[in-house]
Chains A and B, each alone.
Chain A
Amino acid sequence: MARVTWTRRRALAAAAAALAAPHVRAAGAGQPKVVVVGGGAGGATAARYLVQGGGLDVTLVEPTRAYYSCFFSNLHIGGLRSMASLAHDYGRIAAEGVEVIHDTAIAIDRDRREVGLAGGVVLPYDRLVLSPGVDFVEGAVPGWDITQAGRMPHAYKSAGDQTELLKAQIEAMPEGGLYCMIAPPNPYRCPPAPYERISMVAHRLKQINPTAKILIADPKDHYSKQALFEEAWDKYYGGMITRLGPDFGGDVVSVDPGAMEVDIDGEVNRVDVCNVIPAMKAGWICDRAGLTEGDWAPVMPVTMQSRIDESIHVLGDAADQGDMPKAAFAATGQAKAAAMAVRAALLGARAFPPRYANACWSFLAPDDVVKLADTFRAGEEKIERVDRVISQMNEDPALRRRNAEEAVAWYDAITADIFG
């Protein structure tokens, strides 16, 4: 712990030294201060629910001015949605009374309860909410690091340049070319998303390059909605998609971005596109703040408070909370529970037992969508799954079309809930 504190202090000092006169916000009179780091599904939702009802000074720290949702970005790759349709800004959140600062949090001094920003501002807090999303585990795929993302894109954070690059590479594939995905090990953001992406890539290639092939190297034995995906791939994209699980060496993979080669258990494949989705971990600020055990930040199930520091709540993908998937829907529910807990602790507001849920829709084809929904409860040790509903194989196409309409309505609703 001492070492962590020293590192933290040192980082904050370095941040401060970067500017001649760092501006420390006055922590004195006035309302309790809550700082939220990260303006994605968890953080933006938390900021809105924290400020509702008044009584708190809420500051949201997010580097980007426009948020392009990772969720639904597969549909852009498939040609079903524009990039602009994935864009959201923070104007309404600011209008609701949240101070939105476009900067990067680089250090957290837990003893002083201060967050240091790259621009030199230091924000004091009574409670801190961290929702930094995921980062990639260095060295997870031998031969690949983030500097190679221009050759072998991940396209697995906020949508944007990486998504556009991957889409352009797919559309520029030679006739009969090969797209390869290096799928991630568990746990990772949005469990069905790599396989929805495969469906959307196949849909696009079927239109423009029908003799192209898709290869997946996958370290997992099983994956989310697997039977539903496999049924659809056979139905719509027969013969196009091959998945190599660990029984076929899908867990022993390295890449050579310069040569555009993928080595799967000793067999070298020349590829035209390689979509590397590496293993993931909590956004780095969690580790910097000494809030992680292993790759993730452990939290308490009722309030999403860090098990290491009770004045900090960790939301969404970065949190190790138990059974909930790392997904936008899950993050918004955790954000509401955390906001309620913070308002109860700082203002004496009423608090109710949290009740978590998650629903996700996956596009197999433009009019064929499957869904999975889970309910959860805050158990003693972790958030525990209670119940599940999932689409069945060989369902009525009309039902799948209605699912597609539900998915679009869900996107509009959740983004309105997150961004106002």
Chain B
Amino acid sequence: MGLSPVVGRRGRRAGGFTASGLALVLSLAALPARAGGDLELGAWLAGECITCHRDGAAERGIPPIAGWPEEAFAAEMRAYRSGGRLHALMQMLAGRLSDEEIAALAAWFAAQE
């Protein structure tokens, strides 16, 4: 049930942008190429996620998802999409993501740490 061991608590909240993950838009050019996803697409799609998932949030309620390794993130989303992982709201949101979009989100959130 746990969201995998990779999600550490991070107190970092410098400047506000890291909290929302927006800084990525500024630093896209500086990022190394990722194996999978389109980071600009990921940044756009992530706007929906961060309405609820706050960087630096406590694990209670809604977990932080910034900084997850790409593979773990993508596996979680595919599990929601297939219905293997239970949470009706997340199943619905993941259910409309293509493989390309999951890869984009995974790359974007992985780049947040």
Q: Convert B50-62 into 0s and 1s, putting 1 for each residue whose CB lies closer than 8 angstroms to a CB of A.
A: 1111100110111
Given A386-B96, A409-B61, A410-B62, decide whether A95 and B52 contact each other with a Cβ distance below 8 A: no
B17 and A333 contacting across the interface, CB-CB below 8 Å: no
A405 and B41 contacting across the interface, CB-CB below 8 Å: no
Q: What is the interface size of chain A, counting residues whose CB is below 8 A from a CB of the partner?
A: 38
A420 and B17 contacting across the interface, CB-CB below 8 Å: yes
Contact of A408 among B51, B53, B61, B92 (CB under 8 A): B61
Chain A contacts of B51 at CB under 8 A?
329, 332-333, 357, 359, 410, 413-414, 417
Within 8 A of A (CB), among B17-63: 17, 19-20, 22, 25-26, 40-41, 44-45, 47-48, 50-54, 57-58, 60-62
- B39 CB, min distance to chain A CBs, angstroms: 11
B92 and A405 contacting across the interface, CB-CB below 8 Å: no
B96 and A414 contacting across the interface, CB-CB below 8 Å: no
Contact of B54 among A49, A92, A333, A416 (CB under 8 A): A416
Given A329-B51, A373-B89, decide whether A413 and B57 contact each other with a Cβ distance below 8 A: yes
Chain B contacts of A53 at CB under 8 A?
25-26
Contact of B20 among A357, A407, A416 (CB under 8 A): A416
- B102 CB, min distance to chain A CBs, angstroms: 14
Chain A contacts of B41 at CB under 8 A?
352
A-B contact count (CB 8 A): 95
The reply on A212 being an interface residue by CB < 8 A is no
Within 8 A of A (CB), among B88-108: 88-89, 91-93, 95-96
The reply on B16 being an interface residue by CB < 8 A is yes
The reply on A380 being an interface residue by CB < 8 A is no
Given A52-B25, A371-B89, A375-B92, decide whether A355 and B48 contact each other with a Cβ distance below 8 A: yes
- Bound: A409/B62 CA distance, A: 6
Within 8 A of B (CB), among A139-166: none
Which of A371, A373, A402 is most buried by chain B, counting CB atoms within 10 A of its CB?
A373
- A86 CB, min distance to chain B CBs, angstroms: 17
Given A359-B89, A405-B61, decide whether A48 and B96 contact each other with a Cβ distance below 8 A: no
- Bound: A409/B61 CA distance, A: 6
Chain A contacts of B88 at CB under 8 A?
389
- Bound: A420/B92 CA distance, A: 27
- Bound: A389/B90 CA distance, A: 10
A409 and B57 contacting across the interface, CB-CB below 8 Å: yes
Given A333-B48, A357-B93, decide whether A405 and B60 contact each other with a Cβ distance below 8 A: yes
- Bound: A410/B61 CA distance, A: 8
Q: Convert A166-177 into 0s and 1s, putting 1 for each residue whose CB lies closer than 8 angstroms to a CB of B.
A: 000000000000
Chain A contacts of B26 at CB under 8 A?
52-54
Chain B contacts of A92 at CB under 8 A?
16
With CB as the reference atom, state the residue of chain A lying closest to B62.
A409
- B49 CB, min distance to chain A CBs, angstroms: 9
The reply on A213 being an interface residue by CB < 8 A is no
Given A52-B25, A375-B96, A406-B62, decide whether A414 and B47 contact each other with a Cβ distance below 8 A: no
Q: Convert A333-358 into 0s and 1s, putting 1 for each residue whose CB lies closer than 8 angstroms to a CB of B.
A: 10010001000000000101001010
A413 and B60 contacting across the interface, CB-CB below 8 Å: no
Given A355-B48, A375-B93, decide whether A96 and B16 contact each other with a Cβ distance below 8 A: yes
Chain A contacts of B52 at CB under 8 A?
359, 406, 409-410, 413-414
Contact of A336 among B15, B17, B47 (CB under 8 A): B47
The reply on A396 being an interface residue by CB < 8 A is no
Within 8 A of B (CB), among A11-67: 48-49, 52-54
Chain A contacts of B93 at CB under 8 A?
357, 373, 375
Show 17 residue pairs from A and B whose CB-CB distance is below 8 angstroms, ordered by the A residue.
A49-B47, A52-B22, A96-B16, A333-B48, A352-B44, A357-B48, A357-B93, A359-B52, A371-B89, A375-B96, A406-B61, A407-B61, A410-B52, A410-B62, A416-B16, A416-B20, A420-B19
A residues apposed to B, CB below 8 Å? 48-49, 52-54, 92, 95-96, 329, 332-333, 336, 340, 350, 352, 355, 357, 359, 371, 373, 375, 386-389, 402, 405-410, 412-414, 416-417, 420
Closest 10 CB pairs of A and B: A409-B61, A413-B54, A405-B61, A409-B62, A420-B16, A389-B88, A336-B47, A92-B16, A352-B44, A373-B89
